[in-house]
Chain A
Amino acid sequence: MEAIGTLIAFTMNAGTPLLLAAIGILINERSGVVNLGTEGMMLVAAVVGFAVTLNTGHYVAGLVAGGFAGVLMAMLFAALVIGLRANQFAAGLALALFGAGVSAFIGLALQGEPLPTRSPDGVPLLRNLPIVGPALFAHHWLVYFALVLTFAVSWFLFRTRGGLILRAVGESPESAHALGHPVLRVRCLALAFGGACAGLAGAYMSTIYTPLWSDGLVAGRGWIALALVTFATWRPGRVLLGAYLFGGVTMLQFYLQAQGVEVATQWLAMTPYVATIVVLVLISRNPRWIRLNMPASLGKSFSPNV
């Protein structure tokens, strides 16, 4: 029982950066913009969040600064793909590389700096319950925030007028434009939201999850989040499932190893990817569903003047 409790706890912690980043990407892509730069945005936000936490001693300040850094990176991207109508894939890749380089550069002096100690995370009384406490109630508030955000985004997308406009912009920017919706402004806002999410995810990694700064800290999680959104067919609930599944299987294989179960290392490294892909593909195996959910204008620039 206790083992299951720890596994659940680890799953939630490991899944959170993926979930946050993926929810941001989902909103981007629902508006029709592909931003491949998530990894770079997360890295820059991670280093900024770490630096601010280190200098102010406040974790919240670090997270907020990380979110802002993500928004700034996203605005740089928006200037390229919305302002200058650059190719989204090329600009996104450039953003990823730029973020990796710049974060390493800013972070040179921060390598090996320890952060101040944090007061215990979680819900004050509930976290002391046996098993359930450490499993569900002893996490940093950002873990719960990510969950709430997922449901909020789901509600927004499918239950509000704003969500309808966002989806319309992603499906057919021409029609949305003809109806008088500001396509470019909607896409900019979507990108800013995506940047804030990637920023929070990055800052969570460097200040709460790891917590340290070192070069390349995000280690590919931005790319995994991108893939998750596609496999989850742009549905928030499935993104949550995918992110937790990925985190959970990673932790499960560590757990089984420590228990002494015999497995090949290549398998170990592969399992989280394979499991996540298989499950999400099974859920989304209906091709009509994929076509229905994939934003039709994904990756295409839109110019209201032409």
Chain B
Amino acid sequence: MHALGKLIALTAMIAMAGGCGKKEESVPKPEPVKPAAAAQPPLKVGFVYVSPVGDAGWTAQHNAGREQMAKALGPRVSTTLVEKVPEGADAERVIRDLAQQGHKLIFTTSFGYMNPTLKVADEFKGVNFEHATGYKTAPNVNTYNARFYEGRYLAGMIAGRMSKTGTLGYVAAFPIPEVLQGINAFVLGARAVNPKVQLRVVWISTWYDPGKERDAANTLMGQGADVITHHTDSTAVVAAAEEKKKMAVAYHSNMAKFGPTAQLVAVTHHWGNYYTHRAQAALDNTWKVAPVWGGISEGFIKLEGYSDKLPKELVEAVKARESELMSGKFHPFTGPIKSQDGKEILASGPMSNDQLQAMNYYVEGVIGKVPVGGN
């Protein structure tokens, strides 16, 4: 290959590897089941991801959902994914590209895609959009989110029971309501089984920096936390616990591979049923805007990867709580709930969705103050 050829190859490699990678993954068409279905061209469904798909984490779970949907609907859908799309101007371009290419249903899976999604949706009235974790809708933009805190409460019960030092640790990204719900639910769950438990929190101001996540985890373990968990994207926290022979609660994905002895349980996200259901609705022309905030009962959140170390009666207690959550008999945020300075936040009954979405405080049992400048 002469010099020019090399240069071109190099440029192509940079272009391929850098920026956002795009993969077209249409399911190979098997023999048509019904002649009618085969005559219809497949519904093109687009997915926009904020990080690389990877093996575990937020985007990995969304991608698992996409795969489940593609498998369930077979030749009737074809899916496209665009990964590593930064929140902001780039996102708008990517979403518009997908709409222009004839995708009729587009899932945008990060909070920061909210305004870009709405903007593109306004230009493409014939395309339906689904935005994860946002709060603004439009005639063709729906939102969906999960009650992550339900899983956190159950995991908190396990952490509270298994901790010997009575100190738990939490590596968190930014003090937004979703993260605070998780922290508070975790400590409420832990104190439900051991009222003396305390929780220390370290904020690292990024969703993803394996080095910092690990440092924060080590800091927490250095200060007596023997069960740690994280609301950040990598597997570093669970791996750090494994290395230090402490315990961990994994988040997003089952991380047993990274902490075969450390992981007590994993709070995992599952979007596949929802994606299948919504794509089916789009195929049947019954797609409507109906914001969803699903939890354990909707199958959005699960507890997986239970450690063998957990005592049997603990697992039974957690499962019992889980079924109460499913039947609606129990809500993790049920009064009386006190904030950490002893002020009463909720006298009785379950917390309303509005109150949940405005959460900006720690409940009793968390050490330290919520850093200002959240949201």
Q: A215–B50 Cα gap in the complex (Å)?
A: 13
| Cβ-neighbour of A258 out of B16, B51, B223, B235 (below 8 A) | B223
Partner-contacting stretch, out of B94-102, B132-140, B152-160, B363-371: B363-371
Task: Give Cα distance in the complex from A212 to B214, angstroms.
Answer: 11
Asked whether any CB of chain B lies closer than 8 Å to the CB of A269, the reply is yes
Name A225-264 residues within 8 Å CB distance of B: 250-251, 254-255, 257-264
Q: Is B294 an interface residue (CB 8 A)?
A: no
Q: Does chain B have a CB within 8 A of A214? A: yes
Would you call A212 and B239 a contact (CB within 8 A)? yes
Q: Which residue of A lies closest to B200 (CB)?
A: A258
Q: Which of B18, B211, B214, B373 contacts A265 (CB 8 A)?
A: B373
Q: Which segment of A31-39, A100-108, A182-190, A192-200 sits at the interface?
A: A100-108
Known A214-B210, A214-B234, A265-B371; contact A10-B218, beta-carbon cutoff 8 A:
yes
Name the residue in B208, B210, B373 with the highest tally of chain A Cβ atoms < 10 Å from its Cβ.
Answer: B210
Cβ of A169 within 8 Å of any chain B Cβ, yes or no, is: no
Which 10 pairs show the lowest CB-CB distances between chains A and B? A112-B55, A101-B17, A260-B368, A101-B18, A262-B369, A269-B205, A6-B222, A105-B17, A254-B219, A260-B367
Chain A neighbourhood of B367, CB < 8 A: 258-260
> Per a CB cutoff under 8 Å, which of B16, B210, B220, B223 touches A101?
B16
Task: Report the bound CA distance from A177 to B209 in whole Å.
Answer: 45
Q: Is the CB of A257 within 8 A of B368?
A: yes
Tell whether, in the assembled complex, residue B372 and residue A264 are in contact, meaning their CB atoms are under 8 Å apart.
Answer: yes
User: How many Å lie between the Cα of A144 and that of B216 in the bound state?
Assistant: 23
Q: Is the CB of A14 within 8 A of B368?
A: no
Query: Which one of B222, B225, B239 lies within 8 Å of A211 (CB-CB)?
Result: B239
Report the bound CA distance from A104 to B18 in whole Å. Answer: 8
- Using a CB–CB distance below 8 Å, which chain B residues touch chain A? 10, 13-14, 16-19, 51-52, 54-56, 84, 169, 174-175, 200-206, 208-212, 214-216, 218-220, 222-223, 225, 234-236, 239, 257-258, 367-369, 371-374
Distance in angstroms between the alpha carbons of A263 and B201 in the assembled complex: 12
A162 within 8 A of B: no
Interface membership of chain A positions 121-151, coded 1 if the CB is closer than 8 angstroms to chain B and 0 otherwise: 0000000000000000000000000000000
Closest-CB distance, B213 to chain A (whole angstroms)? 9
Contacting residues, chain B, for A105 (C-beta < 8 A): 13, 16-17
Decide if A212 touches B17 in the complex (CB within 8 Å): no
A6 to B219, CA, bound (A): 8
Q: How far is the CB of B94 from chain A (nearest CB, A)?
A: 18
Bound-complex Cα distance A10 to B212 (A): 11
A10 close to B14 (CB less than 8 A): no
The residue of chain A having its C-beta at the shortest distance from the C-beta of B259 within the complex is A114
In the bound complex, residues from chain B placing their C-beta under 8 Å from that of A111 are 52, 54-55
CA of A260 to CA of B13, assembled, Å = 48
- Taking CB as reference atom, which chain A residue is nearest B201? A257
Q: Which residues of B contact A221 (CB under 8 A)?
A: 211
Tell which of A3, A94, A100, A251 touches B215, judged by Cβ atoms closer than 8 Å: A251
Residues of chain A within 8 A (CB-CB) of B55 are 111-113
> A266 in the interface, Cβ–Cβ < 8 Å?
yes
Docked Cα-Cα span, A3 to B216, in Å, equals 14
Q: Could you tell me if A219 and B16 are in contact, using CB atoms closer than 8 angstroms? A: no
Tell me, yes or no, whether A205 is within 8 Å of chain B by CB.
Answer: yes
Bound together, the chains give a CA A266 to CA B204 distance in angstroms of 10
How far, in Å, is B229 (CB) from chain A's closest CB? 14
Residues of A within 8 A of B222 (CB): 3, 6, 10, 255
Set of chain B residues within 8 Å of A303, measured between Cβ atoms: none
Pick the contact of A264: B56, B258, B371 (CB < 8 A): B371
- Do A104 and B52 touch across chains, with their CB atoms under 8 A apart? yes
**What separation, in Å, do the CA atoms of A262 and B214 have in the docked complex?**
22
Chain B residue at minimum C-beta to C-beta distance from A97: B18
- Quote the shortest CB–CB distance from A119 to chain B (angstroms): 12
Complex CA–CA separation, A250 to B212 (angstroms): 9
